[in-house]
Amino acid sequence: MCKLNTFDYEPQSFDDQKRMKRSGNPKPSAHDADPSLIQGLRMGDHECYKAIFYRYHKSINDFLQALTKSEDTAQDITQEVFITLWEKREVLDPEKGIIRFLFRLAKQSFIHHYRHTEVRSSYAKSVSFSSDELGGAQGDEILEAEEIQLLIDITVNQMPKTRRSVFEMSRYDDLAIEEIASRLNISKDSVSSHLYNALRDIKNVMALFVILILMGQ
């Protein structure tokens, strides 16, 4: 049976996890679960599992909600993360902590979820971005090409209707700003603004996903 205290049930926010990552400390910190708690989970102790669930559920769910822009989707993926945690509990190393393991599961569950939903569309296979457009993040050095494309597809599908139409016409149909403005009956400045916001949306989501990967290392 786990020996629990109040801190074991204290929720950790995503900001707490980001601060831990910025510290550059790869070892379990005061923000990570006590090794005895992780060992209890490894042994199948339900109280230890419950303590870890309550402590890290909010952090994982908040991050996935920022990534997916959907409360329901984030909740579904978070549930999958903690189900997988229980199923894979025997591979945990108490000395390595559990935060990074949870964020690896979050990344894998996020990708798995969207690979099995009907959000992919033909234009996505034709879209490409330079590192300048993506803020120099060099995401292709961090993410697999398929994951990058999936992120783009998800993000574009979540854009407001006009922004998405402008983006598709520019990237998929290769139309000039003047022609897009004419077809949508909006100003050229509006087209430029929609394109800027579309690229900003994609950069923001990719930045979040890079954090997710780094926290899972």
The pLDDT score that the predictor gives to residue 141 is 46
User: What type of residue sits at position 95?
Assistant: E
- 148-154 CB contacts, 8 Å cutoff, 24+ apart: 148/206, 149/124, 149/125, 150/111, 150/114, 150/115, 150/120, 151/202, 151/205, 151/206, 151/209, 152/124, 152/127, 152/202, 153/114, 153/119, 153/120, 153/121, 153/124, 154/68, 154/114, 154/119, 154/205
Domain boundaries, the chain: 10-115, 122-215
Residue 145: the pLDDT is 64
Distant-in-sequence, close-in-space partners of 131: CB < 8 Å, separation ≥ 6: 137, 138, 139, 140
In tens, the pLDDT along 136-168 reads: 544 444 455 667 777 788 888 889 999 999 999
Pick the CATH number of 122-215 from 1.20.1260.10, 3.90.1010.10, 1.10.1040.10, 1.10.10.10: 1.10.10.10
pLDDT for 100: 87
Quick one: fold of 10-115? Rna Polymerase Sigma Factor; Chain: A (1.10.1740)
pLDDT digits (tens, 9 = 90+) for 100-112: 899 889 888 888 8
| Residue 210: pLDDT band with limits 50, 70, 90 | confident
Per-residue model confidence as pLDDT tens digits over 181-207: 999 999 999 999 999 999 999 888 888
Cα dihedral 56→60→62→63 (10° resolution) = 140
How many Cβ atoms sit within 10 Å of the Cβ of residue 71? Answer: 11
Residue 32 to residue 126: CA distance in whole angstroms: 42
Residue 122 has pLDDT above 80, yes or no: no
pLDDT mean over 210-217 = 64
Which of 1-5, 58-62, 74-78 has the least mean pLDDT? 1-5
pLDDT at 63: 85
pLDDT tens across 38-65, in order?
999 999 999 999 999 999 999 899 988 8
| 155 and 205 Cβ atoms separated by less than 8 Å | yes
Coil, strand or helix: which one is 203?
helix
Q: Report the share of the chain in percent with pLDDT over 90.
A: 43
Query: What tokens were used for 7?
Result: 């801190």
pTM for the structure as a whole: 0.60
- Residue 27's pLDDT band, with cuts at 50, 70 and 90, is very low
